[in-house]
């Protein structure tokens, strides 16, 4: 491969070549794999900051106030929460654990937004007690729970609209169509707004929509924003509240594979915000609410690199190799679950000529345990490192202990340092909840 053929846009900004070796800043990635052990995940801080800057740039196209809230389901840990809180972001959470990690990481409660389609009464109560910035009401059952909650505290609520739109993405990631479990119909949303207006402690402050994830086409997203704005108009006309926050969710796509659309994040973010501003002017025209963007994947995916070590290699009669590495569907379920396509590179001699196609598989007892169906790779030998880019989102947060796999160590690369964010899981961690028999 010539250096110019290297899909640089898939890799963290700090990745570069030196003498046919791949470096992350001043670290030789192959040496890192040996030193840190594998599988290991490394996040590159400059790449995270670059994505935040792209969203800030995008929000300049929205003439009112704006806020970036990170969708913590993409991956959350205490140190990441600390980093993002310091950068002034908000946090989208869906569970008590995400909420607690966010608060311990230093987010002000008002910067947290609680999502989810089936929030249990206990979670709602804890969110109210903590004073989160918004509880995003998904359905009328949830509203009944909030109405009947014995609390004298004021609750700021958003309504999640189901706009009945099909997002152009994998079926498991579509969340805005009629048959989806998420969000309220137009009529339910109006009924909810009326009920909230009649309640002494409930306050309708915002509207939310999220039609899906890994989307490159802005048109359906803008169509969902238009419906949200129309709902704001209808609610305000009826005198049921004033919409101060407009949240079109997350969902912007990122390229994972050289064949994926390579649209720059700042272009997508700007298009989304400019389109939202235009829609607001045309359909509402009043003072601008805060536009709340909720990216998960696009904020963090590209910053993450997964490092593995090659083990067994099988040579098939058609010339294809099956290369087994020491991680798989236990740390990256996306290929098995969504047919997600990735690319890989040996960080030592990455520019060598490809020796043919290879299937990258894991060590788990399951044929669905693969990371890449086909990638053209140079010759690799057992013990060599293999790096997979765009590994920052929805890998570790969906990781499992299948076959007793221990979850990987996670590091942060900064221009000065390599910092441990999360140590590798241990067998003791795995057994911590087990109660030995007492008889
Ligand atoms: N807001 C809400 C209400 C969401 O449900 C999600 C993602 C986001 C924001 C963030 O979306 P993002 O910017 O990351 O696209 N496991 C799947 C993705 C599931 C997304 C779930 N919700 C995958 O690996 O592709």
The pLDDT tens digits of the residues spanning 206-254 come to 999 999 999 999 999 999 999 999 999 999 999 999 999 999 999 999 9
Residues 156-169: tens digit of each pLDDT: 999 999 999 999 99
Average pLDDT on 298-315 reads 98
The Cα 266–Cα 273 span in angstroms is: 10
Residues 327, 281 share a domain: no
Residue 89 near residue 296 (C-beta atoms within 8 A): no
Q: In this structure, are 240 and 169 located in the same domain?
A: yes
Return the CATH number at 403. Answer: 2.40.37.10
For this structure, is 365 an active site residue? Answer: yes
Q: Is the same domain home to 262 and 394?
A: no
Q: Which ligand 1 atom is at minimum distance from the Cα of 397?
A: 16
Q: Is 204 found in the same domain as 230? A: yes
User: Residue 71: inside a domain, yes or no?
Assistant: yes
On whether residue 261 sits in a domain, the answer given is: yes
Nearest by Cα to 31 from 23, 19, 42? 23
At residue 129, the pLDDT reads 96
Residue-wise pLDDT for 88-136, tens only, equals: 999 999 999 999 999 999 999 999 999 999 999 999 999 999 999 999 9
**Residue 434, burial from CB neighbour count under 10 angstroms (0-12, 13-18, 19+):** exposed
Say if residue 314 is in the same domain as residue 345. Answer: yes
Q: Buried (b) or exposed (e) across 113-132, using 16+ Cβ within 10 A?
A: bbbbeebeeebbbbbbebeb
Strand 304-315 and strand 321-325: pairing? Answer: antiparallel
Which residue is it, tokens 């997600």?
340
Instruction: Find, among 196, 187, 96, 203, the residue nearest to 143 by Cα.
Output: 196
Residue 126, classed as helix, strand or coil, is: helix
Q: Looking at the domain assignment, is residue 436 inside a domain?
A: no
Q: Which residues, 6+ apart, have CB-to-CB distance to 20 below 8 Å?
A: 348, 349, 350, 351, 352
Given the residues 365, 427, 431, 437, the one annotated as active site: 365
Would you state the pLDDT for residue 1?
A: 74
CATH number at residue 54: 3.20.20.10
Q: Specify if 409 maps to a domain.
A: yes
pLDDT in tens, 189-200: 999 999 999 999
pLDDT value at position 152? Answer: 78
Domain boundary among 237, 269, 300: 300
Is residue 437 a part of any domain in this protein? no
Atom 7, ligand 1: residue with shortest CA distance: 213
Question: Over pLDDT 70: what percentage of the chain?
Answer: 100
Mark whether 269 and 361 lie in a shared domain.
no
Residue 199 included in any domain: yes
* Sign of the torsion angle spanned by Cα atoms 51, 56, 61, 62: positive
Q: Per-residue pLDDT tens for 33-78?
A: 999 999 999 999 999 999 999 999 999 999 999 999 999 999 999 9
Q: CB–CB of 427/49 below 8 Å?
A: no
55 and 202 co-located in one domain: yes
Stated as kind and residue range, the H or E segment containing 190 is helix 186-197
Mutate to test the pocket of ligand 1, among 58, 73, 181, 302 (most ligand atoms within 8 A of CB): 73
Alpha-carbon span 416 to 267, nearest angstrom: 30
Together in a domain, 335 and 285: no
Distance CA 376, CA 389 (A): 15
Range of the domain at 23: 3-37+303-431
State which ligand 1 atom lies nearest to the alpha carbon of 215. Answer: 15
Nearest alpha-carbon partner for 301 in 7, 41, 4? 41
- β partners of residue 161: 184
Whether 250 is covered by a domain: the verdict is yes
Last residue of a domain, one of 300, 335, 367: 300
**Protein residue with its CA nearest to atom 6 in ligand 1:** 250
How many Å lie between the centroid of ligand 1 and the Cα of residue 74? 7
Q: Is residue 32 predicted with pLDDT exceeding 80? A: yes
Is the C-beta atom of 90 inside 6 A of ligand 1? no
Same-domain status, 233 and 319: no
Number of domains in the chain: 2
Q: Which ligand 1 atom is the nearest neighbour of the CA of 251?
A: 15
**Of 194, 189, 192, nearest to 209 (Cα)?**
189
Is the four-CA dihedral 139, 142, 148, 150 of positive or negative sign? negative
pLDDT in the model for residue 5: 82
Ligand 1 pocket residue status of 162, Cβ below 6 Å = no
Instruction: Tell me how far apart the alpha carbons of residues 167 and 319 are, in angstroms, rounded to a whole number.
Output: 39
Among 243, 273, 300, the domain-final residue is 300
Q: Are residues 153 and 276 in the same domain?
A: yes
Ligand 1: nearest atom to the Cα of 214? 15
184/272 same-domain check? yes
Tokens representing 112?
């947290």
- Atom 8 of ligand 1, residue of closest alpha carbon: 250
Write the CB contacts of 35 (distance below 8 Å, at least 6 apart in sequence).
Answer: none
pLDDT tens-digit readout, 386-437: 999 999 999 999 999 999 999 999 999 999 999 999 999 999 999 999 999 9
What does the pLDDT average to over 262-285? 97
pLDDT of 3 > 80? The answer is no
> Is residue 439 a part of any domain in this protein?
no
Asked if 98 and 170 sit in the same domain, the reply is yes
Place of tokens 């829609």: 279
Of the pLDDT bands very low, low, confident and very high (cuts 50, 70, 90), residue 151 is confident
Q: Is the CB of 295 under 6 A from ligand 1?
A: yes
């Amino acid at each position: 491969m010539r250096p110019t053929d290297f899909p640089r846009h898939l890799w963290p900004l700090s990745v570069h070549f030196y003498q046919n070796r791949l470096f992350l800043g001043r670290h030789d990635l192959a040496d890192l794999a040996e030193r840190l052990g594998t599988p290991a995940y490394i996040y590159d801080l400059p790449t995270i900051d670059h994505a935040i800057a792209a969203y800030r740039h995008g929000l300049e196209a929205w003439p009112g106030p704006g806020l970036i809230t990170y969708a913590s389901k993409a991956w959350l840990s205490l140190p990441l929460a600390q980093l993002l809180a310091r950068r002034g972001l908000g946090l989208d959470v869906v569970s008590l654990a995400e909420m607690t990690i966010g608060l311990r990481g230093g987010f002000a409660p008002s910067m947290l937004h609680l999502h989810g389609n089936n929030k249990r009464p206990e979670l709602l109560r804890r969110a109210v007690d903590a004073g989160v910035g918004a509880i995003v009401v998904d359905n009328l059952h949830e509203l009944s729970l909030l109405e009947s909650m014995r609390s004298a505290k004021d609750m700021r609520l958003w309504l999640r609209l189901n706009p009945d739109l099909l997002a152009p993405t994998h079926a498991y990631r579509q969340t805005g169509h009629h048959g989806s479990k998420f969000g309220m119909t137009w009529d339910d949303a109006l009924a909810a707004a009326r009920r909230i207006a009649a309640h002494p402690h409930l306050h309708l402050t915002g509207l939310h929509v999220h039609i899906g994830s890994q989307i490159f086409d802005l048109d359906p997203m803008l169509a969902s924003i238009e419906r949200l704005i129309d709902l704001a108009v209808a609610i305000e006309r009826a005198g049921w509240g004033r919409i101060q926050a407009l949240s079109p969710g997350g969902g912007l796509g990122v390229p994972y594979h050289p064949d994926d659309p390579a649209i720059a994040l700042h272009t997508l973010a700007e298009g989304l915000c400019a389109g939202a501003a235009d829609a607001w002017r045309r359909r509402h025209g009043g003072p601008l609410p805060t536009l709340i963007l909720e990216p998960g994947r696009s904020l963090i995916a590209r910053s993450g690199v997964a490092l593995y070590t090659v083990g067994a290699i099988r040579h098939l009669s058609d010339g294809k190799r099956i290369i087994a590495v020491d991680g798989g569907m236990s740390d990256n379920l996306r290929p098995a679950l969504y047919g997600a396509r990735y690319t890989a590179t040996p960080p030592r001699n990455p520019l060598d000529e490809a020796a043919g196609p290879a299937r990258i598989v894991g060590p788990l007892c399951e044929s669905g345990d693969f990371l890449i169906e086909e990638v053209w790779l140079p010759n690799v030998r057992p013990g060599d490192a293999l790096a997979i880019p765009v590994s920052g989102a929805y890998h570790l947060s969906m990781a499992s202990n299948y076959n007793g796999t221990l979850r990987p160590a996670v590091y942060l690369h900064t221009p000065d340092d390599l910092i441990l964010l999360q140590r590798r899981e241990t067998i003791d961690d795995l057994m911590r909840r087990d109660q030995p028999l007492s008889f």
